Structure 1
Amino acid sequence: MKEEIEAAALFITQLVSQSSQLANLPEDRLQTFKRHLIRLFEERFHNHWFPDRPQRGQGFRCIRLNGGSRPDPLIQKAALETGLEYCDLRLPVEFTMWVDPREVSCRWEIHVQITS
């Protein structure tokens, strides 16, 4: 569980670090954000981790962002604990991550406005 959670937290932290809004965020604050994500994911997934049946609990371990819905509570809490505003994270509008035994996968969309 530890490796998968660390991979998920690293990926989200890298998305945040590439945000134009937070491009100059000091490395120590990024690492603090990542540590908070790891702790929150461990707490949430603790009783929902079944290595012998990876699909069991998969919905509970899904991190879902949707432009029309509220922020993901774990990511929002990690941001607040780090002194960041959730809106400044500039995460993709559509983002889904599954954190499963032996596998972390995600899907996202970036909406780009093209002007002529």
Structure 2
Amino acid sequence: MKKEIAAVVFFLKRLIKKAEKLEAEKVDLFVERLTVALQEKFRGHWYTDNPSKGQAFRCIRVNRFHKEDAELLRACVESGVQYTDLGLPKELTLWVDPGQVCCRYGERNLAFTVASFSSDDSDDKEDVTKKVTSAVERVTSDYHSGSSSDEDNGCREPRYITGFSHRPPYQQSLLCHRMAGHVPVFCGDRGDSRRHVVLAQ
């Protein structure tokens, strides 16, 4: 758990530093308080034999509906930092799971691995640092453009999303209706074994 928390905190620290809104001492105090907050939150919700169990509980999420993550806010309060001074992207999701930290920036983008760890303790710290640095660059290169994935990108064509067939029907329906800002036009079989969703934009 400590390695994964260290990776997500290092990732967030790099993002915050890149925003250049806080002094180095404030950033250090914030990440110190965030580390403690995440350790306390994840205790009792860390399942190495089933890493996806408790994933939603351990998720750090910021988007237009959930503008402030509770643990980030707690670390801000405890370190005397204004939440807005973190300079985080408008849409960011971090999954902190046993053996892996993943990120998705923007609600429509695919998730990618920030850091992964094997079960043995021979982790290459330099390799993790490179991966986290690369992940920060990936996020900030899109977000410095000032656009959000929910903002108009000029594309008005319907999008097809595949891969729902592995979920039970009730989850497929929920996923269709949860897609923020979109109206589900069709959800179900289209004559083949895959399920599709056509979203009106």
2:26–2:81 CA contact under 8 A, matched in 1: no
**Residue from 84, 94, 100 that aligns with 2:91:** 94
Q: Which amino acid aligns with 1:36?
A: R
What's the counterpart of residue 108 of structure 1? 105
What's the counterpart of residue 11 of structure 1? 11
- Spell out, residue by residue over 1:17-37, the C-alpha distance to the aligned partner (whole angstroms, 9 max, x if none): 111323xx12x3222111111
Aligned pair 1:80/2:77, yes or no? yes
2:67–2:90 CA contact under 8 A, matched in 1: no
Aligned pair 1:53/2:50, yes or no? yes
- Spell out, residue by residue over 1:9-54, the C-alpha distance to the aligned partner (whole angstroms, 9 max, x if none): 11111111111323xx12x322211111110001111011000100
2:26–2:79 CA contact under 8 A, matched in 1: yes
How many angstroms apart in 2 are the aligned matches of 1:20 and 1:33? 14
What's the counterpart of residue 68 of structure 1? 65
Aligned pair 1:43/2:40, yes or no? yes
How many angstroms apart in 1 are the aligned matches of 2:70 and 2:3? 22
1:83 deviates by 1.2
More RCO (CA 8 Å, sep 6+): 1
What's the counterpart of residue 21 of structure 1? 21
State the superposition RMSD in angstroms. 1.4
1:68 deviates by 3.4
| TM-score, normalising length: structure 1 | 0.87
2:62–2:90 CA contact under 8 A, matched in 1: yes
Report the secondary structure of 1:99's partner residue.
strand
How many angstroms apart in 1 are the aligned matches of 2:78 and 2:29? 9
Unaligned runs of 5+ in 2: 107-142, 148-201
Report the secondary structure of 2:44's partner residue.
coil
| TM-score, normalising length: structure 2 | 0.52
Identity of aligned residues (%): 38
Unaligned runs of 5+ in 1: none
1:73 deviates by 1.0
| Larger Rg, first or second structure (1 or 2) | 2
How many angstroms apart in 1 are the aligned matches of 2:2 and 2:32? 12
Report the secondary structure of 1:52's partner residue.
coil
2:34–2:75 CA contact under 8 A, matched in 1: yes
